[in-house]
Amino acid sequence: MKESIKLGIFGLGTVGKGVVEQLRKNGALISQRLGKELQITKAVTANPTKDRGIDLSDIQISSDPKDILDDPEIDIVLELIGGVTDAKSIVLEALQKGKSVVTANKALLAECTEEIFNMAYQSKGLFGFEASVAGCIPVIREIKSSYSGEKIEEISGIINGTANYILTSMIEDKADFQVALKAAQDKGYAEADPAFDIEGTDTAHKLIILMDLAFNGLFDLKELYVEGITKITPLDIEIAEQFGYTIKLLGKAVNTDKGFEGRVHPTLVKTSNMLASVRGAFNAVAIKGNFMGPTLSYGAGAGAYPTASAVMGDVIEISRNLLQEAGQLVPPLASMRDQLSKKKILPMSEVTTEYYLRFSVLDEVGVMSKITTLLGENDIGIRSMLQKGEAHSPKDPIHVVIFTHKAIEKNILKALAKIDSLQFVAEPTNLIRIDTE
Ligand SMILES: NC(=O)c1ccc[n+]([C@@H]2O[C@H](COP(=O)([O-])OP(=O)(O)OC[C@H]3O[C@@H](n4cnc5c(N)ncnc54)[C@H](OP(=O)(O)O)[C@@H]3O)[C@@H](O)[C@H]2O)c1
């Protein structure tokens, strides 16, 4: 039996350094639980001589991937560099060489799903990616293990801390979008280029991984509907609150009779729904199964230590398997490879839900009746209606907000195309979907 498990780590940035620190601090505890020692023997990083403010003298650091990939002593490779191109070759080569791999890289898994998982299945390597979705919340392990007897019906996740932080400050501090974004950047939550977070791309990456796991499928990221939070205004937040809702960026996947829904967009969530109380940079994932009913998991979705913790959990699980020579006990994507097939996501036009529609219109006679007639002609029922604002001149727009009953998205879009082309409409209508849970 091995005397220790040796780790080779690619990347000593936020997460990589967090992993080193966790092993330094909790190493003795981890050894007690594992029965053997975990050792980081080598690291490969872009700038090997960079000062990282911690003692790394016992780790051999270089910039040459071969130093880890060609070292037969290394049992587990940690890919913590991010990006797709280099990360993909590292992960594929490590698996091909019979090593186990742990990654936190959601972009890689979402964009190269088949290539990566085909290799993970073929190589029979142990492959951990818990840190790729929702930081320290063990949602991947839940789906792969705890819920493996369930038919999963629905997943709703707040899985991007930056977007949730921005929406929370818009709600609680009444900040407008740009001010809230700046605050998120100052706190280190949002990158200098925050596009992945605020445009919904990062949420989409994570949702597609959850869909693959939950629905025994290989879904195409390009089929997901993805809309970010940039169109949300303080006015929308105020009106939503008035009607008992809060606005969240949700990643939502539903196994419906018509097919699989997969969508990322700002959503009005009832304030009584537990997801509504997820504040700041925290994440939460709600999963509904046909026997277990609804569950909710909550925790830090990012950050050096929470993410390192998820990486470490995978490392320890894999080490246990390696020490027992147990092999691949749980298939990498939850199902046997021959049961995994390419699956389609329903076009957004086929989704049925309730809608919040904010019309910006000139205050003229007949406006309301024209809007409600066009909605009615497209089978859209009105649940509540509100007029907001006052026109001080004939050119000042006012806001008419309509909450609809459930309607099919293609009818909504047809009605809005007609309404938005009318002369009295000052700005395109703001549409926000409502969570009907
Ligand atoms: N940060 C989080 O909270 C978080 C949460 C969940 C998942 N993740 C994921 O974890 C991964 C790492 O994120 P991070 O925040 O730790 O990134 P980061 O702080 O930017 O660190 C990246 C590290 O990788 C190194 N690197 C970059 N390109 C490289 C290459 N081609 N070859 C070798 N080393 C390279 C960098 O080297 P130098 O330092 O030497 O320049 C740096 O040490 C990403 O996939 C990310 O999506 C991060």
Q: In angstroms, rounded to a whole number, what is the distance separating the alpha carbons of residues 321 and 273?
A: 39
pLDDT score for 390: 79
**42, 206, 252, 288: which is the annotated catalytic residue?**
206
Q: Is residue 25 part of a domain?
A: yes
The count of other CB atoms within 10 Å of the CB of residue 230 is: 14
Do 101 and 197 belong to one domain? no
Tokens 């995994």 belong to which residue? 340
pLDDT score for 392: 78
Q: Is residue 346 part of a domain?
A: no
Do 30 and 102 belong to one domain? yes
Q: In angstroms, rounded to a whole number, what is the distance separating the alpha carbons of residues 47 and 184?
A: 27
Do 16 and 117 belong to one domain? yes
Nearest atom in ligand 1 to the alpha carbon of residue 47 is 40
- Select from 339, 365, 397 the last residue of a domain: 339
Q: In angstroms, rounded to a whole number, what is the distance separating the alpha carbons of residues 327 and 126?
A: 7
CB 284 within 8 A of CB 298: yes
- Select from 289, 313, 339 the last residue of a domain: 339
Q: Is residue 109 part of a domain?
A: yes
Would the CB of 15 count as within 6 Å of ligand 1?
yes
Do 177 and 263 belong to one domain? yes
Do 403 and 318 belong to one domain? no
Do 167 and 285 belong to one domain? yes
Residue ID of nearest Cα to ligand 1 atom 21: 13
* Arithmetic mean of pLDDT, 73-88: 97
Q: In angstroms, rounded to a whole number, what is the distance separating the alpha carbons of residues 174 and 248?
A: 15
Q: How many domains does the chain have?
A: 3
Q: Is residue 344 part of a domain?
A: no
Do 331 and 389 belong to one domain? no
pLDDT score for 232: 96
Cα dist from 390 to 189, 305, 363, 393, whole Å = 38, 50, 8, 9
Residue ID of nearest Cα to ligand 1 atom 31: 86
187 pLDDT more than 90:
no
How far, in Å, from the CA of 13 to the mean position of ligand 1?
5
Do 327 and 410 belong to one domain? no
125 pLDDT more than 90:
no
pLDDT score for 124: 82
122 pLDDT more than 90:
yes
How far, in Å, from the CA of 119 to the mean position of ligand 1?
23
- What pairing do the DSSP bridges indicate for beta strands 382-388 and 397-404? antiparallel
Q: Is residue 89 part of a domain?
A: yes
How far, in Å, from the CA of 12 to the mean position of ligand 1?
7
Q: Is residue 347 part of a domain?
A: no
Instruction: Indicate yes or no: pTM above 0.85.
Output: yes
Do 224 and 250 belong to one domain? yes
Do 364 and 408 belong to one domain? yes
CATH number at residue 27: 3.40.50.720
How far, in Å, from the CA of 82 to the mean position of ligand 1?
5
Would the CB of 16 count as within 6 Å of ligand 1?
yes
Q: In angstroms, rounded to a whole number, what is the distance separating the alpha carbons of residues 232 and 245?
A: 14
pLDDT score for 241: 96
**Per-residue pLDDT tens for 12-24?**
999 999 999 999 9
Q: Is residue 412 part of a domain?
A: yes
Pocket test for ligand 1, best of 15, 52, 63 (most atoms within 8 A of CB): 15
pLDDT score for 388: 85
Closest among 318, 171, 140 to 246, alpha carbons compared: 171
Q: Is residue 251 part of a domain?
A: yes
* Arithmetic mean of pLDDT, 322-345: 93
1 pLDDT more than 80:
no
pLDDT band at 437 (very low <50, low <70, confident <90, very high): confident
Residue ID of nearest Cα to ligand 1 atom 10: 104
* Arithmetic mean of pLDDT, 18-34: 97
Do 297 and 308 belong to one domain? no
Do 130 and 149 belong to one domain? no
Percent of the chain residues past pLDDT 70, beyond the cut: 100
269 pLDDT more than 90:
yes
Task: Note if 370 is an active site residue.
Answer: no
Domain extent at residue 22: 4-138+304-339
pLDDT score for 188: 81
How far, in Å, from the CA of 251 to the mean position of ligand 1?
24
